[in-house]
Amino acid sequence: MQWKQIKTLFILCFLVLDIYLLLMFINKQSAAEFALPDTSDSTFAQELEAADISVSADLPSGTFSEPQLYLNQKSFTDDELAFFEDADNQQTVVMDDTFILSRFQEPVAIPDEADSSLINEIVKSNIPMADQYTFGSWNEEMNVLVFFQQKNDFPIYYNQSGIVLVYLNDDNEMLFYTQTMLGEAGSSDEEQTLNEPIKAIQAIFEGNRLESGDEITDVNMGLHTRIPLDNGERVFSPTWAITVNHEEKFHVNAIENLVVSSDERTFLTGVITFTIEKIQKLDDASEMKSFVLAYLDELLASNQQSESEIE
């Protein structure tokens, strides 16, 4: 009699276990059917498509890692400045060994239909240490050619301590240029793991910086100032440069995935103001001083007027 009771108890236990396992299986099936949507890159691609934003740029692929760079303002050496001994068409002043101002006695023409390759060729044949710079843009609002200094084959975006600005007249002729340079690169010992370029695109998308119909036309790696240090050093972080519609550029810190300031017009206004303050220290009798100051003052006034009209 006791054995029958035990047998019945075992049967009931196994029956309860079977029911429990069946319920677990049904719950898992339901969870799979009603799971939240994937948040992977494929989902972001669908978001771009829904917003009518396309990516035609070839996105760099692979695993990305680069160190941060620590750079100081460079002082130009006599050997580097010897370039101007053979520059017959230039009148040059070097201030504080760190700032070059050079005026063309006969303006040098930039053809109207010049592409970046031809602009590179023309400008680099007229500046010292030309291989250290790369063409960034032609700001047509202010009629200035922007050349970024390069370190480790990466352009340094929008830093007034490592840049060449070439000022043009209304006939697109080079009148004069200013030049600065950052010194030898020091880097952190540890390389940083970088975000993929699609993450940088996602950062500007989520920051509401893209509009319906926009096209991502180019993506490149460069360097951008992260923080200035008390000893005068500047820290430069790897940065994705994202071009939209072949024109507008956004810069995204590739480590922190933060969009960094890169408004070219604001940057140029700041550099021109700095340049005016610098040139005001020249001898008042200098013909180049009066010419350049008059040009830059007019350029700033014209820029301020156009900004007020936009507002």
Q: What is the pLDDT of residue 66?
A: 87
Q: What is the CATH number of the domain that holds 207?
A: 2.40.128.690
**Domains in the chain, number:** 2
Residue 24 is assigned to a structural domain of this protein: no
Do 225 and 142 fall into the same domain? no
Residues in the chain: 311
- DSSP character for 233? -
Q: What is the pLDDT of residue 263?
A: 86
CB 191 within 8 A of CB 67: yes
Distance (Å, whole) CA 43 – CA 207: 17
The rounded average pLDDT for each run of 10 residues, N- to C-terminus, in the chain (311 residues) is 59 62 55 44 84 91 85 94 95 96 96 92 97 95 96 93 97 97 79 90 92 94 75 82 92 91 89 95 87 95 71 54
* b/e sequence 225-259, b meaning 16+ C-beta within 10 Å: bbeeeeeebbbbbbbbbbbbeeeebbbbbbbeeeb
Do 146 and 200 fall into the same domain? no
Domain span holding position 142: 69-185
Q: What is the pLDDT of residue 260?
A: 87
Distance (Å, whole) CA 136 – CA 119: 10
Residue 61 is assigned to a structural domain of this protein: yes
Q: What is the pLDDT of residue 271?
A: 95
